[in-house]
Amino acid sequence: MISRDDIIGLLRDDLARVELFRAAWLGGSDANGRVDALSDIDLVAFVGQGRADEGLSIIRSTLERLALIEREWRLPSPTWHGGEQTFFQLSGCPNFGLVDAVLMTHTPGFEFFVRERHGDPAVLFDHDGLVSRTPLDRSAHGQRVRERVETARGKFTLLSHLAAKEARRDRPIDAIQYYESIVISPLVDVLRAVHCPDRFDFGLRYLRDDLPAEAYSSVERLVYPASADELAGMTEAARAMMGGALAQWDARKPG
């Protein structure tokens, strides 16, 4: 039976022998110490300018040596990160057999190498010494955090009543959309700014690791309303929590 290590080992050994791949590493759960039996494989590699199509074709051929590729999806370009990204799902590997491959051309100050935000890349090979830590620009980052908090403050203060209002109108789908986007999302943004500003924009991802246990448990209780009828009460609970989080933020007088 194919294992996760089999997939990673083959990618490491094969790609390292191909000239166009200058460095490759694993991000995601491997970079953040969260690997378990359900972890997929987040592969990132530096390739020469304009050679991403060739690189993705080589990755496809490499994976096909282990198993059939059941499904494949390439993100439209340009992607949010500027690279080329394709997902490959291997047959017979429902959990770890999803390979998320991102190919990029190296540039200085690479965002994925900011340890505070993305962890430590699990390097497979690095022919040119390209995998090196990118320092977090605290000044610019702090400004982004402050802007995020003020956006969350305004959105929540003025609009958080809309979820309950749509529920009263018997529009439960509209209500839950508003609840997620203008109650939960801004609340989480402020909680992150207070407790884990390095990843202020990660939303619900990694939230259990990034918030104190009590705060996480409170958010967990709020994100799964049983019905639209609960939204008014849950919004009030979120409002109290938001007030406390904003008070903590304001008391710090971030510069």
Select the more confidently predicted residue: 46 or 94: 46
- Which CATH superfamily includes the segment(s) 4-126? Beta Polymerase, domain 2 (3.30.460.10)
Give me 33's structure tokens.
Answer: 């110490």
The pLDDT, as a whole number, for residue 176 is 96
- pLDDT of residue 253 exceeding 70, the answer is no
**pLDDT tens, position by position, 174-223:** 999 999 999 999 999 999 999 999 999 999 999 999 999 999 999 999 99
- pLDDT of residue 47 exceeding 70, the answer is yes
Percent of the chain with pLDDT over 90: 90
- pLDDT of residue 254 exceeding 70, the answer is no
Question: Which of these CATH numbers, 1.10.3210, 1.20.120, 3.90.550, 1.10.150, describes 138-252?
Answer: 1.20.120
| Cβ-contact 63, 7 below 8 angstroms | yes
The pLDDT, as a whole number, for residue 107 is 87
Mean pLDDT of the chain: 95
Q: Quick one: pLDDT band at residue 94, thresholds 50, 70, 90?
A: confident
The pLDDT, as a whole number, for residue 95 is 75
The pLDDT, as a whole number, for residue 192 is 98
Supply the pTM of this predicted model: 0.90
Q: Quick one: pLDDT band at residue 23, thresholds 50, 70, 90?
A: very high
**pLDDT tens, position by position, 159-180:** 999 999 999 999 999 999 999 9
**pLDDT tens, position by position, 56-82:** 999 999 999 999 999 999 999 989 888
Domain boundaries, the chain: 4-126, 138-252
Question: Taking Cα atoms as reference points, which of 116, 119, 117 lies closest to residue 33?
Answer: 119
The pLDDT, as a whole number, for residue 37 is 86
The pLDDT, as a whole number, for residue 109 is 85
Q: Quick one: pLDDT band at residue 108, thresholds 50, 70, 90?
A: confident
